[in-house]
Amino acid sequence: MTESFLRQRRNLFIINGILLFAFYVKVDISKFTFAGVTFSGFGNPEAIYYFLWVILAYFFYRFSLFFIEDEMSNFTSRWVSLMDTSVNSKLREMAYNHSGGSFNENSMLGYYQLKKSNWTLRYQAEDKNGANGQYSVINMELAISPFKVLWPQFRAILKFCFLTSALTNYLLPALLTFYVVVVIGLSSWEGAIVKLFT
């Protein structure tokens, strides 16, 4: 991860943590200390909540922007690699059984090409009964039901979410922000978005 993305991710976690803390301990703002200076007796304490929500929106925007610019290619390459590895092993097994054991592994296109070709697996097999006892190559096709590769896809999703750093690096900050906006922002807490704008 790039240093700039890490910084945006950290800032997003901090502002989410502040809002979560304020919500769960039912903070009532009557005094505020900033840089060693204490402010008390606010005329409009809701302004601090407005400020926190604006900062959350800004940090989430920055997180999204740096994710798209710096991390999207890494994220998608991990996803594609895991999905290919998991599903292609099942496809190889199906092609091997369909060809009667003469399947050429290097000729199979794989999961993403399978989806593009309307779930038709194309591969090559060796024909041992060729002319004059020579081997020949046969182009083969096998219609695959999407349900037959559902379990390998599910395994790849689980592995991607829980056995790689994708969950903590990319998904957790976004999910935490979504939780804060929906659960806290729409609650009856005095700092909730719906309370501030009604």
- Spans of all domains in the chain: 3-196
pLDDT of residue 101: 72
pLDDT of residue 31: 65
pLDDT bucket at 30, cuts 50 / 70 / 90:
low
pTM comes to 0.73
pLDDT of residue 175: 94
pLDDT of residue 129: 67
pLDDT of residue 34: 64
Q: Which of 31, 28, 33, 51 minimizes the C-alpha distance to 42?
A: 31
- CA-to-CA distance for 12 and 181, rounded, in angstroms? 13
Cβ–Cβ under 8 Å, residues 95 and 123: yes
DSSP 48-111: HHHHHHHHHHHHHHHHHHHIIIIIHHHHHHHHHHHHHHHHHHHHHHHHHHHHTS-EEGGG---H
CA atoms within 13 A on the CB side of 171: 12
| Burial of 141 (C-beta count, 10 Å sphere; 0-12/13-18/19+) | exposed
pLDDT digit string, tens, across residues 53-71: 999 999 999 999 999 999 9
pLDDT digit string, tens, across residues 148-174: 999 999 999 999 988 888 888 899 999
pLDDT digit string, tens, across residues 89-138: 998 888 888 887 777 777 887 888 888 989 998 888 887 665 666 777 88
pLDDT digit string, tens, across residues 36-49: 777 676 677 778 88
pLDDT of residue 196: 82
pLDDT of residue 109: 79
